[in-house]
Amino acid sequence: MSISKQAFDRHDHSACVVSALDAAELLCARHGARLTGRRRRVLELVWRSHQAVKAYDLLAQMAREDPSVKPPTVYRALDFLIAQGLVHRIESLNAFVGCVRPGQAHHEQFLICDDCGTVQEVEVPEVGRSLTKAATSAGFQADHQTIEVHGRCDTCCQPASRR
């Protein structure tokens, strides 16, 4: 964790969005990838919160603004953003979150609160290392790790009086 949960609960989220979009512009420029209007809008909507977003929720919001937005519109943008490392897919939710470390190599590891839906991306280096090592010793060449821990976050664990 880079910040405490309490700090997180009161954080200025619009700063998250701005910095995510800025980082995306930068990263795409560096990669010669095009962050088009559609893609930028999807990324923006993904960053609306720290909860995982469903593709069809994105679709619904975007279709309200422009009826020509159809499922492929959304899925293509998501595919692009995932390929650029700007968005992660949460397999156990069929949903998507913005990456908090775009451009930095990292294993994707998530703490997912089943109460409030908050997804916190973490980096526990030991976990990735142990897994890769165990895989290797089994003759398995690891390409990608899906690590998603479900449970209850700090806030949701605390009695109401302390919130």
Partner DNA sequence: GGTCACTTGATATAATATTACACTTTTCCG
Partner DNA sequence: CGGAAAAGTGTAATATTATATCAAGTGACC
Site residues (vs DNA, CB under 7 A): 32-34, 36-39, 54-56, 66, 68-73, 75-77, 80, 94-95
For residues 70 and 106, is the Cβ–Cβ distance under 8 A?
Answer: no
Regarding 135 and contact with a copy of itself (CB under 8 A), the answer is yes
The secondary structure element, H or E, covering residue 119 is: strand 119-122
Q: Which of 10, 64, 144, 163 binds a copy of itself (CB under 8 A)?
A: 144
Q: Which partner from the list Zn ion, DNA, a copy of itself, none does 38 bind, CB cut-off 5 to 8 Å by kind? A: DNA
Give the total of residues touching a copy of itself (CB under 8 A): 35
The secondary structure element, H or E, covering residue 154 is: helix 154-157
The secondary structure element, H or E, covering residue 58 is: helix 55-65
Name the residue nearer to a copy of itself (CB basis): 40 or 152: 152
Residue 94: left (phi > 0), alpha (psi -120 to 50), or beta?
left
Name the residue nearer to a copy of itself (CB basis): 21 or 147: 147
